[in-house]
């Protein structure tokens, strides 16, 4: 039997290393990787039967869904974005998912969307919750505090100044006048000394720069870094979820308001120590005890809810690999 691993199209400006972290979560269950299969080109695969764990966000290529019959899929940690769902759930798409049901879904929105079409579905959680293989002994944990893409959905200089057209558009829609908002809102919840001395990480490096092998190496390096952190503060679920698996204290900053973003999180947000922030006013509240702002002495203990999701996903993936077709 052959085994495949998902890779991804690049955006015009950047790539999302979180996608490759999701693929690493799948890779740990494979005896080998025979081929990289691009998420947007699964319908085009032709060759020997190949097993593929179909976890993650689907899909940009809405008009070329469903995957090839030569792919033997396991649907676990599957997210169907609300923008793609009307196209993916065509008569052909529904028949395909029914053929491979039950569908393990990364979020409750996907569960509900599939069930409305008569497809058996359940909330599995995200496969990155199984990345405890990267966990290190406590004595290897350092004192570094990382801030990873906080409130990344907010307007940034790079977004508005990408080119002349984006700059003009930002003036017309008013987003250029929101440039200082992220800094202002973070200062409301995080101590100034910590903001100054924390190590900042961006999980979206520039596009058209790295090979797939280099992207996987970047993802692995990030996991090793997070595994040894004293604390991670982030708005990236594919930073926060692996931190849970690795036992790294993590605070998730939730400042998302559009349904395109928030539909990804239903069921997942309950796993975190979390700060919810009103992106308009900057008012915030924590779902865990916090005296004042987050600072270098802030101590948190991760919630244990994720264990009930991680262990069944491990068994599901192991059984998929071991069972004969």
Tens-digit pLDDT profile for residues 225-241: 999 999 999 999 999 99
The two tokens of residue 101 are 């049901």
Q: What is the mean pLDDT of the chain?
A: 91
Supply the pLDDT for residue 17.
Answer: 97
Gap between the Cα atoms of 288 and 292, Å rounded: 12
Confidence of residue 258 (pLDDT cuts 50, 70, 90): low
Residue 16 has pLDDT above 80, yes or no: yes
pLDDT > 90: percent of the chain: 80
pTM (two decimals): 0.91
Count of helices and strands (H, E) across the chain: 12, 14
The structure tokens 């199209």 sit at 9
Run of H or E including 21: helix 17-27
Cα-Cα end-to-end distance for the chain: 9
Digit-coded pLDDT (tens) for 109-127 = 999 999 999 999 999 999 9
The two tokens of residue 137 are 């002994």
**What is the number of alpha carbons within 13 Å of residue 308 lying toward its C-beta?**
8
Supply the pLDDT for residue 177.
Answer: 46
Digit-coded pLDDT (tens) for 138-186 = 999 999 999 999 998 765 546 545 565 654 565 555 555 455 688 899 9
User: CA Rg, the chain, in Å?
Assistant: 20
Digit-coded pLDDT (tens) for 69-92 = 999 999 999 999 888 999 999 999
Digit-coded pLDDT (tens) for 263-308 = 778 899 999 999 999 988 889 999 999 989 999 999 999 999 999 9
Confidence of residue 23 (pLDDT cuts 50, 70, 90): very high
CA nearest neighbour of 66 among 86, 94, 33, 46: 94
Supply the pLDDT for residue 92.
Answer: 96
pLDDT > 70: percent of the chain: 90
Run of H or E including 4: strand 2-7
Supply the pLDDT for residue 260.
Answer: 54
Supply the pLDDT for residue 127.
Answer: 98
- For residue 282, count CB atoms less than 10 angstroms from its CB and return exposed for 0-12, middle for 13-18, buried for 19 or more: middle
Supply the pLDDT for residue 266.
Answer: 86
């Amino acid at each position: 039997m052959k085994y495949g691993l998902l890779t991804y199209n690049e955006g015009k400006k950047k790539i999302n290393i979180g996608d490759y972290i999701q693929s690493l979560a799948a890779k740990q269950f494979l005896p080998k990787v025979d081929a990289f299969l691009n998420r947007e080109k699964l319908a085009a695969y032709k060759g020997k039967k190949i097993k593929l764990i179909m976890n993650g966000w689907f899909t940009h290529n809405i008009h070329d869904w469903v995957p090839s019959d030569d792919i033997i899929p396991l649907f676990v940690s599957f997210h169907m974005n609300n923008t793609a769902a009307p196209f993916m759930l065509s008569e052909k798409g529904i028949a395909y998912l029914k053929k491979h049901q039950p569908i393990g879904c990364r979020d409750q929105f996907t569960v509900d969307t599939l069930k409305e079409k008569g497809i058996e579905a359940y909330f599995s959680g995200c496969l990155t919750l199984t990345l405890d293989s990267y966990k290190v002994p406590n004595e290897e944990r350092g004192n570094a505090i990382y801030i990873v893409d906080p409130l990344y959905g907010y307007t940034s200089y790079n977004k508005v100044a990408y080119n002349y057209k984006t700059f003009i558009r930002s003036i017309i829609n008013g987003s250029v006048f929101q440039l200082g908002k992220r800094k202002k809102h973070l200062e409301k919840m995080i101590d100034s000394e910590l903001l100054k001395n924390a190590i900042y990480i961006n999980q979206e490096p520039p596009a058209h720069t790295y090979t797939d092998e280099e992207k996987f190496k970047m993802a692995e390096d990030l996991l090793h870094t997070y595994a040894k952190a004293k604390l991670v503060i982030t708005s990236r679920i594919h930073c926060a979820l692996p931190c849970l698996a690795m036992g790294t204290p993590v605070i998730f900053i939730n400042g998302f308001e559009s349904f395109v973003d928030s539909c990804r999180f239903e069921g997942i947000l309950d796993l975190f120590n979390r700060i919810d922030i009103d992106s308009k006013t900057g008012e915030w509240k924590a779902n865990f005890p916090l005296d004042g702002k987050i600072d270098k002495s802030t101590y948190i203990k991760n919630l244990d809810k994720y264990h009930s999701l991680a262990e069944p996903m491990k068994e599901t993936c192991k059984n998929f690999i071991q069972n004969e077709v």
